[in-house]
Amino acid sequence: MKEILFYLFGVISAVLALLSVTSKNVIKGGVALLGSFISLGAVYFTVGAEFVGIIQVIVYGGAIIVLYLFALLTMDVKKIAEEKVRGSSAAAGAFLSILLMILLLLEASKIAGKVKPAVSGAKELALPLFFKYLLPFEIVSILLLVATIGAVAIARREE
C-alpha cells in the first residue's frame, strides 16, 4: 500500500512539475508547481518522514509559491512574454541545468538504498545541524542574509 502511494505521488509530482514548465499561462504553471510540491510532501509522508513532508508543504507550498504568484501578478507578464529569448542566455541556462542534473544524479547514486526515514524528526535533524555541522549552517545563513541585503539594495536603487 505504502509503495503504491509512494510511486503514485512521485509520478503526480513529476507530471505536475513538467506541466509547470510547459504551461503557457504562468499562473497555471505556478499552481501546477504548487501541486508538485504538495505531492512531494506526500511522498515524504509515504516513507515515514512526516516532519520533512510537513516542512516541505509549509516552506515550498506555503511561502515560496505565494511569493512567486504575488510577484507574477505584479509584473507585466505579457510584455515579458513578447521579449525575444537570447540564444546565449538559453545556452547558459541549459548548461547550468545539465551540470546541476549531473551533480544531483552523482550524489543521489551515492545515497541510494541508504535512506533512513527514522532519522527525520525535528530532534534528529536539529542535533547534527546545531552541533556537528554548525559552521556550514552559519555560513548558509550569512549567505542568505547577504542575498536579502542585496535584494533590498537593488530595490532601493531603482527608486
User: Using CA atoms, how far apart are residues 58 and 65, in angstroms rounded to an integer?
Assistant: 10
User: C-beta of 114: minimal distance to other proteins in Å?
Assistant: 23
Per-residue interface string for the shown chain with other proteins, residues 82-121, x marking contact by CB under 8 A = ---------------------------------------x
User: Using CA atoms, how far apart are residues 124 and 136, in angstroms rounded to an integer?
Assistant: 17
Q: Which position among 19, 31, 47, 125 is part of the footprint of other proteins (CB under 8 A)?
A: 31
In single-letter form, the type of residue at position 32 comes to: A
In single-letter form, the type of residue at position 144 comes to: L
The C-alpha R_g of the chain, in whole angstroms, comes to 19
User: C-beta of 132: minimal distance to other proteins in Å?
Assistant: 21
Q: Which position among 8, 50, 117, 125 is part of the footprint of other proteins (CB under 8 A)?
A: 50
Residue 121 in grid coordinates: 524528526
User: Using CA atoms, how far apart are residues 14 and 31, in angstroms rounded to an integer?
Assistant: 14
Interface with other proteins (CB under 8 A)? 25, 27-28, 31, 34, 38, 41, 50-51, 54-55, 57-58, 61-63, 65-67, 69-70, 73-74, 121-122
